[in-house]
Structures are given as C-alpha cells and as structure tokens.
Amino acid sequence: MKRFLWLVLFFFLLGGAWGHADAYDYPFKDPYVATVIGTPSEFQPKLPDKIDYKMLSFEVFPERVIPDVFWYQREFRYSLTYQKGEAPLIFVIAGTGSSFYSSNMIFFQRIFYQAGFHVICLPSPTHMNFITTASATGLPGNIIADAVDLYRVMTMAWDQVKDRIKVSEFYLTGYSLGASEAAFVAKLDEEKRVFNFKKVLMINPAVSLYTSAKILDEMILAALPGGLKDFNDWLNGVLGRFAEVFKEMGYVDLGHDFLYNIYKTVNKTRSPKRENLATMIGFAFRISSNNMIFTSDVMTNAGLIVPKNLTLESTDSLYEYFRATSNTTFVDYFDDLLFPYYKAKHPELTQERAIQIVSLHTIQAYLEMSPKIGLMGNEDDLILTPQDLNFLKYVFGSRAKIYPSGGHCGNMSYTENVEYMLNFFKN
C-alpha cells in the first residue's frame, strides 16, 4: 500500500510524465520536483537502519571568546564511523548550511560504512558550529580561505582519531558547496601532503558560489507575482507555517525532508506548480544563508544585522534579527561583509576578481590535470548556468558523470548514483 501511494503521488507531481524510455530511470524528470523530494526510499539501496558512530569534538582556537548567544557552540563537532580492522578513510563535506548529522550526511555515512570505509563527516563552513569554532575569519564564502579552515579541522580530527583506527589510504568527497570546497581542499593537500588523497569525488558542485547563490536567492520570488513588495507579506505567512514544520520535525535539516515538509505545509491547498517549488527551494536557501549571515555578523561585530558592540545574551529573543536577515540575500552578504573585508586587506582587489576567486575557475588548470578528481552531476542542476555546465564537461571530460535528470542533489541517494560513487572510489 505504501509503495502504491508513493507511485500515485509521483504520477500526480509529474503530470503522468514518467519517462522510462531513457536508460536512466530516476523517477523525477522535473528538476524542481527532484530537488524538493529527492529520492524516495524504494529507489535507494538497502542500508542498515542504524549504525554506530561517535560524535567527537575539539577546540580549534582555544583562545577564542564565543559570544553568549552561541553558548551551545563551544567546540567544533564532527562524526566518526569506523571499521574494526584496517580500511580506507573517507572525509565527507556537507553542503551549504548543513551539519555533519544532516539527513544527507547520515546517508553518506551509511553507504560508505557499508562499503567498508571509515567515515568522518564534517559540517559545512557555512554552518553555525563551523563559523563560531573553526572559521579563522568568521566570514565564510571565500572558498580558498574556507578550504584552509577545512584542512585545519580535518588534520586535527585525524590527530584525534588516528590511534583508534587503522587507515590504509584517504579519500575525499562533498556535495553541493561541499563538493566545490573538496576541490580546493584537494589542491591544498597537494602542497601539505597530510593525506595524499587517492581519489576525490565532487557531487553536484557549484562552479561559481556567487552565481549559484544568486540563482537560489532569486528563486524565492518565483511564486510572488509582486516580487519583492510581496515578500514581507509572504514571509509573515510562511513563518508561522515554518514553525509548524519545526514542531513536527523537532529540528531544522535543510535537506529533502525539510524541503518536502515545508512545501506540504505551506501549499496545503495548492497544486505543486513549478513556481511554488522554486519558492520553497529559495526559502530553504534563504534560511540557510540567513543563519550564516547572522552568525558571521555577530562573530565579526560587523553591524549588518545586529548593532555594533551590542552584546546578545543566551536568553535574548532573536526574532527581529531573524526578520532582518530574511530580507538579506547572499549577494548582500557578499557585497556588504565579505568583499569589504578582503578589500581592506588587498586594496587592489576588484569585485569581479573577488567573484572569480569563489569559483572553480580559479583552479581550472589543477582540475584539468588531476586524474584523481572526478565529478558526478546533472544536466538539469538548478544552481548551474549553461555556461557552468559546459565548463564542468570541458574541464573533467571523461572524469565527469553527468546524469540527464536529478535537479540539484535530488538523485544523490538513487541506487544507480550510489553504485557509481562506490565504483569510483573502489576501482
């Protein structure tokens, strides 16, 4: 019965367009549907319901004073899942705003553990825990600097666990922004030689962080005919419904479960139109980037959201600050916080150059020449422009596996995709 109901729902969402004529049978051909719903369990590989893992932590900057409003973010946190005997160790970097225990990361943890790997899962440099405890600047978004931060915590994590496990070799992967960051980490490791990664897989990377963020920022307006002038009214309505989802789920995980639940809640009486789906995707990204912006603003005392030198206590209400950040885009963050910070250090820096720095174009030559780095992506990835997609195809060539559908990260847990990932690392 459960499977039948899923099939009915799928047929409704796709308007009957199953499209099994292609060799690739991922069930959703619409990229917006794929991005929101992801891969239903019956199309995923069989995995253990639960595996043992350890949540570990350490101080990255012992001298750092963390504001009281972030009282629960005192140490950097990550997870370790390990085999009983010697095995390869794979690091997994989370996507934008995600923690090491998000639903996507738990999935990766299970598939790699089942395949015989030790697994270390890391939060995104844009996640609150990373910003407060492990970011050297408190301003994520410069992928070069973020990679340095990631490499630092990876090295410290390895130092913490190396006496517990026997490792034969090291691997690296990440999805979405985590995939882009994995490429920069791999390049850094070519110089530092701590891990000497045998293989690195980039899953649905952003080519340009700025461009992809701008695309996602603009999606929130898709179902708002009045554009920005309707946004505040829409936000007032959705915040209450967002609270309903939070109450139901008990946490906020900006993955497919969250997207689908918030979509169902906000659109109880509406058909699943593409513009509604786009708005939900944009809203999820906005929440993620807002958490980053608020955290960065407080950690750097920038005054963009919270007035300069205002001390927030752990008991203070943050609602008004949340409303303020809800009207702040990633582009605003880049223009008003990130770029001025680096401009002050490098007066010759232009905004055009700053945007290029946070893109894969910066390391194009390395990506072209490195046989150990592979790519798994989708033709219909919502965060890529046609130019971005062509760039990936040109740079990676035969090392790129581009599926015809899947949206942005929608098909990561599809059985065929999982088989490709595991074959990439094992062969």
Q: What pTM was estimated for this model as a whole?
A: 0.87
- CA distance linking residue 386 with residue 372, whole number of Å: 25
For 262-271, b where at least 16 C-beta lie within 10 A, e where not — what string?
A: bbebbbeeee
Say whether pLDDT at 267 is over 80: no
Q: Is 18 exposed, middle or buried (0-12, 13-18, 19+ CB in 10 A)?
A: middle
The first and second tokens of residue 240, run together, are: 């209450």
Tell me how far CA of residue 248 lies from CA of 39, 180, 236, 242, 265, in angstroms.
21, 33, 19, 10, 10
Return the pLDDT at 252: 45
- Parallel, antiparallel, or unpaired for β 400-403 and 54-58? unpaired
Angle at 277 between CA 5 and CA 175, to 5 degrees: 90
Q: What is the pLDDT of residues 377-402, one digit of tens each?
A: 999 999 999 999 999 999 999 999 99
Domain annotation for the chain: domains and CATH numbers: 41-207+354-426 (3.40.50.1820), 212-345 (no CATH)
Give every CB contact of residue 243 below 8 A, 6+ residues apart in sequence: none
Q: Is 8 or 374 the better-scoring residue by pLDDT?
A: 374
Mean pLDDT of 348-362: 95
- CA distance linking residue 186 with residue 175, whole number of Å: 14
Q: What is the pLDDT of residues 138-168, one digit of tens each?
A: 999 999 999 999 999 999 999 999 999 999 9
Tell me how far CA of residue 318 lies from CA of 65, 98, 162, in angstroms.
20, 20, 40
Q: What is the pLDDT of residues 223-260, one digit of tens each?
A: 566 655 555 565 555 555 554 444 443 344 445 555 55
**Residue pair 355/370 in contact by the 8 Å Cβ criterion:** no
